Structure 1
Amino acid sequence: MLAAVNAYGQSVVLAGPNARMTALSLKKTPYFCPQCGRPVVIKAGDVNIPHFAHEANSSCDSFSEPESPRHLSGKLDLFNWIASTRDAEMEARLPDRSQRPDILTGTIAVEYQCSAITSSLFRSRTERYNNRLLTPFWLYGGPPIEKKGRYIKLTPFQRLFLRYHSQLGFYFITYYPESKLFSVYGRIIPVTTSLCFAERLDVRISEMPFPPAAVFSSNFTFSLQAFFDEKRKWIDRSRHYNNARTHLLFKSIYEAGRNPHLLPEEIGLPVRTGVAIRNHPVEWQFYIINDQKSGSPEEAAAIVRKRIESGHLKEAILPLAPLMTPEQAAADYIELINELGTGKRADSRSMGAKIQREETFCTAYEKQIIDRLIF
């Protein structure tokens, strides 16, 4: 931790260019954890930045993660960045001591998270801030986002940081103290259950305003044909590594006398709110098309919710984007289908015919689909 109090309750923060000198001058003064009240010691070596640390065997749960050197360094960078333009408090103590944000500025509680925590803890901390009329601003500081070719792979923990903006779609922000860079991942679109398309914008901390803002290029590089190629690979992998006859989706497809590779192109399309459903687009969109009667957005939303409750689909946990729900994804999908106006088309008769139909579909509808992915 970078903040502690003395015996009189006066706070000291080890930040700024003179932090090490301040820490050394305070070595003989007793300091205490503002959260649990137990003694802390000052660490001011030559490797890590100066900080306070609990004595051995302390059970204080002030923070959700160990205070690693990387976390301390990043938190200090963020504090100096925010404090350069507005009032900010390091490791602020909330009145009920229920939690302690890394940085508090106005009504914004900044949390810099480097190690993984459970989704339930992430959500409960977010809700407690909201209940206090504070806006939680979570920044990801963990391992670099993994790249897989043209896509990125997001872990369940990383997905907890997803927010939604009308211009950026789903997005999240990372900060890396080693490079002093923010990386903003925006326009995130699920391609498989783990891979996502995303555009990345790197901004130096000295050039980023607070609250952060990002403007992506108007040149949107999403390829519908590449999306279809990944869909085909996903079906192949899923059939190979799972028992296709017992897999809930494939079982439903086979029982209907159909082939998962030959389904109409409209089943398994990219939808900007599709992140709200953890399953592949083919799965939840097949259920909608298979179960619907009226074809309305409201009916599609009800179908998806029923499939979630029955265990056929899984809802994504999005604490920072509570309005982006599976129901919204289902409604957006039906609106897309209605806009394309392709009608209810039959399955392809062969893989050759299927690939030809995909190429024709991409030529005819890619622009319309992309226009709905970005605003």
Structure 2
Amino acid sequence: MLTAVDEKNCLINLLETLPASRSKQYFCPFCHSEVVFKNGSIKLPHFAHKQLKTCTLGNENESEQHLMLKKELYEWLKETESVEIEHYLPELRQTPDLLINGKVALEIQCSPLSLKRLHERTMNYRLHGFKVVWLMGRDLWLGNRLTELKKQLLCYSENHGFHYWELDLTKRVLRLQSLIHEDLRGRLFYVTHSFLFKEKPLLDCLRTPFVQQELLKMAVYPDNQLQHFIHKQLFHKSPKWLHLQSLYYQKGKNILDLDFMRPYIAPPGLNLLVPFMDNLTGSSFEQLSKIPVSYYQNFLDVFQKKKIEILYPPRFYAIMKKQK
């Protein structure tokens, strides 16, 4: 914790001032139990509960990465915005890492959390009128595979499609992974934009997916070895591929007869392997109020009429549809 209250209920923010005396008593703003000030050589100066079991706030065992990122973003934001660190919201019983202008909650997630907890926190912010933005630390960078947790942390806009935010403390960079697509092997493809810390106002960076701009695009190529890959998956009795093969058999088809010379790649949540069924996976996205069905439909319309060599954001496919 980087904040506590003293005996007079005055807030102490360790990023602004250090306690003048270790002999004073300090208390958790959330549970009001006593905390101690720690100023060692490994972590940033911080507060810790004397008895952790008395508090359910959940920020006691923050890593050095998490503490340092809160510090960096706090100092970045305060140059242009009104920002509060670890500000307790009693109506939500939550404490965002950073609260911007009293309405945007910034959550820095450096370690995995349960889908249940992610849902509870996201919905709680939404129901109380707060906008929440999740920024992921090193262990949750997007990488080459989309886990269920990462899927539930995806954002969406018409200009950038599915996108994802990352924080790199070592390089002091905020990364925006945009135009995210997934191929039939489960590999991810995306475009990366990087913003150096304090290069420009942080809120301007976070608005990037939504402001007017040139259309993004990303080249893709046919997966000429995909049929061989699926054959191997069936030979080794992969449950996923055996299930898909059974669906094709029920329709009098064989999954290995598909035209695999086309680049089978799609936005997350769209399944190109079942064109005779509902292409949507049936899953939802925690950070989206609804599944972007029109994006999927417009994408499929282009996909089914020609070989895709360039991928675009949803706005491109919407414009094409209007021009017909």
Smaller-chain TM-score bracket? 0.7 to 0.9
Answering whether residue 95 of structure 2 is matched by residue 69 of structure 1, we say: no
Determine what percentage of the aligned residue pairs are the same residue.
Answer: 21
Deviations 1:89-115 (A, max 9, x none): 111111335111111112101111111
CA distance in 2, matches of 1:267, 1:115: 37
Equivalent pairs counted in the alignment come to: 310
CA distance in 1, matches of 2:240, 2:187: 25
Q: Structure 1 101/244 Cα, relative in aligned 2: closer, same or farther at 3 Å?
A: closer
Correspondent of 2:220 among 218, 223, 242: 223
Answer yes or no: is the 8 Å Cα contact 2:98–2:106 preserved in 1. Answer: yes
Alignment map for 1:89-238 (pairs within 5 Å): 89-96=84-91, 98-106=93-101, 107-143=103-139, 145=141, 147=143, 152-192=144-184, 194-211=186-203, 212=205, 213-214=207-208, 220-225=217-222, 228-229=223-224, 231-232=226-227, 234-238=229-233
Which has the larger Rg?
Answer: 1
Answer yes or no: is the 8 Å Cα contact 1:267–1:281 preserved in 2. Answer: no
Deviations 1:63-105 (A, max 9, x none): 3673111111111111111111111111111133511111111
- In the other structure, the counterpart of 1:286 is 275
Correspondent of 2:235 among 207, 231, 240: 240
CA distance in 2, matches of 1:144, 1:230: 30
2:219 alignment partner, SS class: coil
Q: Structure 1 89/373 Cα, relative in aligned 2: closer, same or farther at 3 Å?
A: closer
- In the other structure, the counterpart of 2:82 is 87
Q: What TM-score comes out, normalization by structure 2 length?
A: 0.83
- In the other structure, the counterpart of 1:275 is 268
Letter of the 1:3 partner, please give it.
T
Correspondent of 2:286 among 319, 330, 339: 319
CA distance in 1, matches of 2:189, 2:225: 11
Deviations 1:128-186 (A, max 9, x none): 11111110111111416365xxxx22322222221111111111111122221111111
1:322 alignment partner, SS class: coil
Of 80-89 and 185-194, the range deviating more from structure 2: 185-194
- In the other structure, the counterpart of 1:26 is 21
User: How many angstroms does 1:244 deviate by?
Assistant: 7.4
Structure 2 residue ranges without an equivalent (≥5): 317-324
CA distance in 1, matches of 2:307, 2:184: 21
Q: What TM-score comes out, normalization by structure 1 length?
A: 0.73
CA distance in 2, matches of 1:230, 1:89: 52
Of 122-131 and 185-194, the range deviating more from structure 2: 185-194
Relative to its length, the structure with more helix (as a share) is: 1
